[in-house]
């Protein structure tokens, strides 16, 4: 019997305002066989966000007990809220042979790298810091104080881009989405090639 090949785990990070979400959605429209990992978060849902689709919105108490039970593959405090990836959910997808994409911050990405060194880390960067600030201001979802927190975090995150396998500059969404698609398809080809070598 032919053994089912395990899927690959992709991590997508980058400062808020770099356009990760849009990029990810565009890529998902084109690439079959990849799932999005739905994180747990203690932050409040924003307008239009839905439970179980964008996030699992949970209380700080529930987050803490899930953490104590070792349910998170990685977790981090970002902009004053907790976020975490459920390990079992990710493993189930990978074991079924499907790929999975985690859209998580740099702290979480580095934890994933430690636990699953074969994962592929992709960093999405804005064309410039000025552009990033403008995008965040145009979005208008944050108070000035929270915006400053996001900008400070963004500077720190940009400094970690070199730790990633790939850096995509999001200057043009279509081009950037094509690049992300290319990274995923290339990984699949490499995996197939390795499988053929083993067989």
Instruction: Give the interface with ligand 5GP as residue ranges (CB under 6 A).
Output: 16, 39, 43, 74, 76, 78-79, 83-85, 103-105, 107-108
Of 7 and 108, which CB lies nearer to ligand 5GP in the complex structure? 108
Smallest separation (angstroms) from ligand 5GP to the CB of 83 = 3
- d(CA 85, CA 108) in angstroms, rounded, equals 9
Residue of closest CB approach to ligand 5GP = 108
CA 45 to CA 134: how far, in whole Å? 23
Cβ neighbours for 63, distance < 8 A, ≥ 6 positions apart: 40, 42, 75, 82, 84
> In angstroms, what is the minimal distance from the CB of 131 to ligand 5GP?
17
Q: How far is the CB of 189 from ligand 5GP (least distance, A)?
A: 27
> DSSP state, 33?
S
Find the shortest distance in angstroms from Cβ 85 to ligand 5GP: 4
Whichever of 45 and 194 has its CB closer to ligand 5GP, that residue is 45
Q: Which two tokens stand for residue 100?
A: 């999975």
Nearer to ligand 5GP, 8 or 16 (CB): 16
Q: Closer to ligand 5GP at the Cβ: 169 or 188? A: 169
44 versus 196: smaller Cβ distance to ligand 5GP: 44
Q: How far is CA 97 from CA 5, 28, 62, 144, 186, in A?
A: 6, 17, 30, 44, 16
Give me the least distance between CB of 67 and ligand 5GP, in Å please.
12
Q: Comparing C-alpha atoms, which of 190, 171, 168, 187 is closest to residue 34?
A: 187
Distance CA 103, CA 31 (A): 16
């Amino acid at each position: 019997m032919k053994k089912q090949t395990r899927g690959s785990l992709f991590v997508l990070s980058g400062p808020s305002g770099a356009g990760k979400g849009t990029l990810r959605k565009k890529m998902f429209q084109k690439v079959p066989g990849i799932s999005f990992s739905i994180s747990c978060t203690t932050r409040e849902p924003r307008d239009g966000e839905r439970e179980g689709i964008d996030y699992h919105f949970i209380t700080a108490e529930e987050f803490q007990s899930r953490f104590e039970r070792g349910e998170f593959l990685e977790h981090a405090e970002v902009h004053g809220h907790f976020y975490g990836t459920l390990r079992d959910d990710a493993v189930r997808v990978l074991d079924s042979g499907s790929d999975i994409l985690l859209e998580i911050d740099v702290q979480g990405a580095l934890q994933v790298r430690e636990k699953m060194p074969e994962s592929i880390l992709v960093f999405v960067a804005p064309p410039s810091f000025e552009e990033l600030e403008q995008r965040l201001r145009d979005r208008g979802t944050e108070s000035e104080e929270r915006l400053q927190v996001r900008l400070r975090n963004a500077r720190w995150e940009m400094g970690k881009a070199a730790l990633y396998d790939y850096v995509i500059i999001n200057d043009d969404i279509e081009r950037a989405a094509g690049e992300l698609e290319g990274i995923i398809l290339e990984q699949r080809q490499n995996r197939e090639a390795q499988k053929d070598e083993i067989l």
